[in-house]
Every structure is written in C-alpha cells, then in structure tokens.
C-alpha cells in the first residue's frame, strides 16, 4: 500500500515545470550575448505549448535590442512569411545582412506540447525540427561576416523591433531551453525530442552548450517577473520579465 501511495504522490504533486508567457509583456532575458563568427555552427532546442496560433509575427526565441535592429538568430511564428498559422520560421542574419529564412512545411498545434529545434552550419545549411523530425530545410552560400550578439542578448518569448524594449510577444508555455555553438545531428535532435528527460541537454555536446535553462525555478501560478532564470551550465543566469508565470501542470504530458 505504501508503494501505491508513493506512486500516487509522484503523479499528483506539482512539479515546477515551465513558464507561461502571456503574449503581452512576458519574456526571458538569457543574458547570453557572445560574439560568434560565421564559421561557428548553431543549434537551439526547446519545448513550446502555444495558447493560440497567431496570424501576426510572434517571437519564440530571438534578440532584444541590437543597435542595428537586425536580429541575428530567431525562431518565430510569422504567417506573412511562411503562409500558414502555426508554421515557424527559423532565420539567421549575419552582420553584412546575409540571411537564411527557413519556414517549416507543417504547423504546430495550439494547446499541445511540441519539441522545437533548429540547427545551422557553417556551410549555410538550416534545418527546423518538430518532435525530432525535420520539417524545413534551407541552404545558402556561407558569408564571410560575423554574427554579433555583443549588444543584444538572446531572449525567449520576445525580441525587439526598433529599440531596447521587448515586443512581438509569444503567447504560450515554454520549457527546457538550450543553445549550442555546434550543429546538432539529426540523431541528437531526435534524442532531445524523444528522451523526455530533464537535464538531457547537459549530456549532448556539452563542450558546445552555451546555456541550458530548464525553467523550473518558479512555483505553479507564481509570478516570474524578476525571477532569476537558472542556467544549469553555470555560465550566466537569466532574468524573468513582465507577465511571466510559473506553470507545473503539463510536465507529465509531453
């Protein structure tokens, strides 16, 4: 009987699991803003659960306040570029203006958890993944420029459009955010999507992992405004802003 009670507690006790971004003013500043040259590969992995599928531009992962207002790296809902609500664009732009726009060929669903990943290599190859499956590829000639993040930290749930203030807010939950300066393989992306284990990004290409934020530090229903967003690599903690709320209800339903 005591083992049954223990199992019941494990599945009913709230687990600090994610953040809910309100689509109005909530965002996470990762405080990561290192310069990287074009010959460095890039990858991002996170879980999203959108409340709605916007018809306008909403940023899932991007930059806040580059002085030239040219975000270098972003994942966004943007129907005007991709064509269908729920499709996601992965965009990279170097300092010289050379860009790669890669739209997914399928859409995510509202009120459903999706593992989202994107990779970019030095040859200009860009891939978007949903739940471990490639859903968008694009390739361009590589540039000799650089990707300068020195004045514009990467952010979650928003980016800026013309100033150092956040805008284009994503409406929905977000969890397990990780960023690498390497090109993850399809097998590694699939492992992140199918493993469904907290801390898994720490085991994948650890020497290139720039930050990993499990987003589990704020209690269910509590405000994340002003919260310290823990980076488990120990490099640089982030900051919570605006209507950010802790959410524990979905962790077991990935």
Task: Give the Cα separation of 118 and 103 in Å (integer).
Answer: 11
Average pLDDT, the chain: 82
| pLDDT > 70? residue 15 | no
pLDDT of residue 254: 43
Q: Residue 73 — very low, low, confident or very high, per pLDDT cuts 50/70/90?
A: confident
Query: Residue 4: its pLDDT value, please?
Result: 42
Q: How distant, in Å, are the alpha carbons of 1, 3, 11, 12, 197 from that of 6?
A: 9, 5, 9, 10, 20
- Domains, the chain, with CATH or none: 24-244 (2.60.120.200)
Q: Which residues contact 147 (CB under 8 A, 6 or more apart)?
A: 35, 36, 37, 38, 40, 42, 72, 73, 92, 93, 94, 95
DSSP state of 103: E
- The pLDDT tens digits of the residues spanning 229-251 come to 999 998 789 999 989 999 875 54
Q: What is the pTM of this model?
A: 0.86
β-strand 209-213 against 42-50: which pairing, if any?
A: unpaired
Q: How far is CA 150 from CA 9, 35, 79, 120, 201, in A?
A: 46, 6, 30, 20, 24
Kindly state the average pLDDT of the residues 146-150: 59
- pLDDT for the residue 253: 44
- At 14, the pLDDT band (50, 70, 90 cuts) reads very low
**8 A C-beta contact, residue 97 and residue 85:** no
145 against 137, higher pLDDT: 137
Considering 14-18, 97-101, 161-165, the range whose residues carry the highest mean pLDDT is 97-101
Q: Classify 192 as helix, strand or coil.
A: helix
pLDDT at 3 over 80: no
At 124, is the pLDDT very low, low, confident or very high (cuts 50, 70, 90)? confident
Give the model confidence (pLDDT) of 180-217 as tens digits: 989 999 999 999 999 878 899 999 999 999 999 999 99
């Amino acid at each position: 009987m005591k083992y049954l009670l223990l199992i019941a507690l494990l599945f009913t006790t709230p687990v600090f699991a994610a953040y809910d971004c309100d689509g109005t003013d909530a965002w996470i500043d990762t405080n990561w803003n290192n310069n990287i040259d074009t010959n460095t590969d890039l990858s991002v992995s996170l879980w999203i659960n959108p409340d709605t599928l916007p018809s306008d531009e909403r940023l899932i992962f991007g930059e806040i306040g580059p002085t030239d207002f040219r975000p270098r790296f972003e994942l966004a809902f943007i129907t005007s570029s991709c064509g269908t609500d729920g499709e996601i664009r992965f965009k990279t732009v170097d300092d010289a203006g050379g860009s790669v726009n890669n739209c997914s060929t399928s859409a995510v669903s509202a009120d459903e958890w999706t593992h989202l990943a994107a990779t970019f290599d030095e040859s200009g190859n860009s891939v978007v993944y949903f739940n471990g499956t490639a859903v968008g590829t694009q390739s361009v000639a590589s540039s000799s420029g650089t990707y300068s993040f020195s004045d514009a930290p990467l952010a979650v749930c928003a980016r800026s459009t013309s100033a150092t203030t956040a805008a284009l807010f994503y409406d929905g939950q977000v969890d397990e955010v990780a960023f690498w300066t390497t090109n993850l393989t399809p097998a590694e992306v699939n492992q992140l999507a199918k493993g469904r284990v907290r801390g898994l990004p720490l085991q994948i290409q650890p020497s290139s992992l720039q930050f990993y934020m499990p987003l589990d530090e704020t209690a269910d229903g509590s405000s994340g405004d002003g919260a310290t967003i823990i980076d488990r690599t120990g490099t640089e903690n982030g900051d919570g802003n605006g209507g950010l709320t802790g959410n524990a209800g979905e962790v077991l339903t990935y």
